[in-house]
Structure 1
């Protein structure tokens, strides 16, 4: 019976001692929480920066494509080119060829002159 009393006293002392010893897991939890919070802040800052950059790229791309579309010549299909050249060989005027091929007179002149 003497042995069981000693084990019981040691157990009670260890329980009381555990209340006074600092818990290192709380310190680690606090560090992990702080790290996750800083990671969240950095991630959100990067997302904001990326969004700004994407908007700038979209704005620049629309500025760049607008002049290209206004100066770009329409592409005339090869079949229409051959039709225009055949009508020209048959002696039709530019206006008549334009009416038959649904091209403008300038486009007809460009096809006949060898341009695109």
Structure 2
């Protein structure tokens, strides 16, 4: 047999075998598509949760609890400081942080931190 006929037979055999071998690229494409769908769904869920949390943080304290007729000592002595920051300062103080450390973490001056702790030490 000639070389050309041998090459032709080998070529035909390779073509026939290629029909029976599974194509791994289609499986990989399916896996990538499934992964991208899962990623999209998780991202969408995280965005929804973040939106809910942002809405909760934007609520006024008056809407959450009962309105108080008497102003608390923390609110009167620490004007301009949000209640969340006051709670953060008190929590950090209870955890044992020093006033300079609390000042750095809460972006308040050391005087403001001392004022919050003195006026609202009994509140949480």
What 5-or-longer segments of structure 1 have no aligned partner? Answer: 73-116
Relative contact order higher in (CA < 8 Å, ≥ 6 apart): 2
Deviation at 1:61, TM superposition (A): 6.4
Number of aligned pairs?
A: 68
Structure 1 segments of 4+ aligned residues over 3 angstroms from their partners: 60-64
Match of 1:82 in 2: none
Match of 2:42 in 1: 42
Match of 2:14 in 1: 14
Cα RMSD, aligned residues only: 2.6
Deviation at 1:34, TM superposition (A): 0.9
Which segment is superposed worse, 39-48 or 13-22? 13-22
Task: Name whichever structure is richer in helix by fraction.
Answer: 1
Deviation at 1:60, TM superposition (A): 3.6
Match of 2:57 in 1: 57
Deviation at 1:20, TM superposition (A): 0.8
Task: Give the secondary-structure state (helix, strand or coil) at the position aligned to 2:19.
Answer: helix
Q: Given the two structures, how large is their TM-score scaled by the length of structure 1?
A: 0.50
1:31 matched to 2:31? The reply is yes
Larger radius of gyration: 1
Q: Given the two structures, how large is their TM-score scaled by the length of structure 2?
A: 0.47
